[in-house]
Amino acid sequence: MGGPTVATNLLAAQYIQGLADDALVYAQRLGEWVSRAPQIEEDMALANIGLDLLGQARALLTRVGELDGSGRSEDDLAYLRDEREFRNVHLLEQEVAGFGFEMARLLWFASYQWELYAGLRTSVDEVVAGVAAKALKEVTYHRDHATQWVLRLGDGTAESHERMQQALVDVEPYVTELFDDDPASVAAAESGVGVLPSSLEDAVRARVSAVVEEATVALPESARWRSRGGRDGVHSRPMGYLLAEMQHIARSNPGAQW
Amino acid sequence: MSADARAATPPAAATPPVTGPRTWPLWEVFVRGKRGLSHVHVGSLHAPDATMALRNARDVYTRRQEGVSIWVVAARDITASSPEERDSFFDPAADKVYRHPTFYDVPEDVEYL
């Protein structure tokens, strides 16, 4: 037999791959800030956050390779998958678009990851539970970093206030996708491997709302258009460019070690 | 090529001037290591205010578990001796060996001396 177990493992692998790809793709985006942030200290901060996420992605991708029966390593999964096989949400693949946008994106994503990992500490998958327990401390800092900046930009000068407000508007169409219950996450929640994304929404929105309010800006109305499909491997235009940059060395030099 | 190519793709909204009135103030950073007894000066950094300075210090100076506690002090709040005062401040101590605790016999079983 073993049939149901294989199917269950495949669904769990798909779910974990979504978590891993979120972390991996955002780590790649945050890396772009090195040498371009407002000050060298902020270069370091964003690079540190990116490296934290990369560490989460490595452990989770390794687990995906074990569960899906393919025997693929973390590197195989990061460098040798094509766009349609990535399961990250659209929010994280969007191009870097200014510091205000980055802090708005980080506030939403870190707030989401905080609730997510808090729930995953009791996952029946030991690797997921272990990653979650460790990552929760990291994400607490990420969320705090974004919070500090949103407060300062929102409640800063007239110009920074306006830009922070615009950044929240620009991020809004990509937020809801974080809380979509795709089939893999429904199955993961039922088996105890994962948590249902929609169950995180209230806590995340409450957290972000409180920060935004204190920063004297406002959350915009729901956008008329909203992103969908990342968890099914359907991505937006920037994703292909991101993967090209992330993967081209590994693909041009197969098996290279450094 | 490189200069033109870079100029053609400026990072959006990520290049404020690094000099002039928008430059963040300087902060001196002190870190207490795990087994250290006191905070030790490790360097300096720029930050818009004390809260952010503490966070920047965490990112810049304690990435490799260097410490368990951080102090930041605005550099402008530090009163320092000047190089011109060096002779009058420090040289007079040079020939006063009696100020050093070297004229005592230390019993062998006294630790930490």
* B15–A contact, CB cutoff 8 A: yes
CB contact under 8 A, B63 and A48: yes
Give the rounded distance of the alpha carbon of A82 from its chain centre. 18
Cα–Cα distance between B9 and A249 in angstroms, integer? 22
CB contact under 8 A, A44 and B24: no
Cα–Cα distance between A96 and A167 in angstroms, integer? 12
CB contact under 8 A, A148 and B59: no
- Please tell me which of the candidates A33, A44, A98 has its beta carbon nearest to residue B59: A44
- Please tell me which of the candidates A37, A40, A41 has its beta carbon nearest to residue B14: A37
Task: Give domain B22-99's CATH number out of 3.30.9.10, 3.40.50.10330, 3.10.20.520, 3.90.1150.10.
Answer: 3.10.20.520
Nearest residue to B53 (alpha-carbon basis) of B33, B70, B77: B70
Q: Is the confidence at residue B62, as pLDDT, over 60?
A: yes
Give residue limits of the domains in chain A.
3-252
User: How many Å lie between the alpha carbon of A71 and the closest alpha carbon of chain B?
Assistant: 33
Q: Which residues of B touch A48 (CB under 8 A)?
A: 59, 63
- Please tell me which of the candidates A39, A96, A97 has its beta carbon nearest to residue B24: A39
What tens digit of pLDDT does each residue of B64-108 get?
A: 888 889 999 999 999 998 888 888 888 888 888 888 777 778 788
Residues 34-93 of B with CB under 8 A from A: 45-49, 51-52, 55-56, 58-60, 63
3-state secondary structure of B94: coil
Give residue limits of the domains in chain B.
22-99
CA of A153: which chain B residue's CA is closest? B48
Q: Cα torsion for A129, A133, A135, A141, to the nearest 10°?
A: 150
* A192–B contact, CB cutoff 8 A: no
* ipTM of the complex as predicted: 0.76
Tokens 């089939």 -> residue: A183
- Please tell me which of the candidates B14, B24, B52 has its beta carbon nearest to residue A98: B14
Mutation for testing the B interface, residue in A32, A35, A41, A148 having most B CBs under 10 Å: A41
A102-130 average pLDDT score: 98
Give the rounded distance of the alpha carbon of B46 from its chain centre. 12
Contacts within 8 Å (CB) and 24+ apart, A55-59: A55/A138, A56/A19, A56/A20, A56/A23, A56/A131, A56/A135, A56/A138, A57/A20, A57/A21, A57/A23, A57/A24, A57/A27, A59/A127, A59/A130, A59/A131
Q: Which residues of A touch B54 (CB under 8 A)?
A: none
Q: Which residue type occupies B82?
A: S
C-alpha to C-alpha distances, A31 to A34, A178, A245, nearest whole angstrom: 6, 22, 12
The count of other CB atoms within 10 Å of the CB of residue A234 is 14
DSSP string covering chain A, please? --HHHHHHHHHHHHHHHHHHHHHHHHHHHHHTTTTTSSSHHHHHHHHHHHHHHHHHHHHHHHHHHHHTSS---HHHHHHS--GGG----HHHHSPP--HHHHHHHHHHHHHHHHHHHHHHTT-SSHHHHHHHHHHHHHHHHHHHHHHHHHHHHHTS-HHHHHHHHHHHHHHGGGTGGGG---HHHHHHHHHTSS--GGGGHHHHHHHHHHHHHHTT--PPPPPSS----GGGT---HHHHHHHHHHHHHHHHSTT---
The C-alpha R_g of chain B, in whole angstroms, comes to 23
CATH number of A3-252: 1.20.1260.10
Highest mean pLDDT among A142-156, B5-19, B53-67: A142-156
User: How many Å lie between the alpha carbon of A17 and the closest alpha carbon of chain B?
Assistant: 28
* A163–B contact, CB cutoff 8 A: yes
A191-195 average pLDDT score: 96
Q: In the structure, what pLDDT confidence band is assigned to residue A158 with cuts at 50, 70 and 90? A: very high
What tens digit of pLDDT does each residue of B1-27 get?
A: 444 444 444 444 444 444 445 688 999
The confidence score (pLDDT) of residue B5 equals: 43
CB contact under 8 A, B52 and A152: yes
CB contact under 8 A, B13 and A163: yes
The confidence score (pLDDT) of residue B36 equals: 66
CB contact under 8 A, B46 and A39: yes
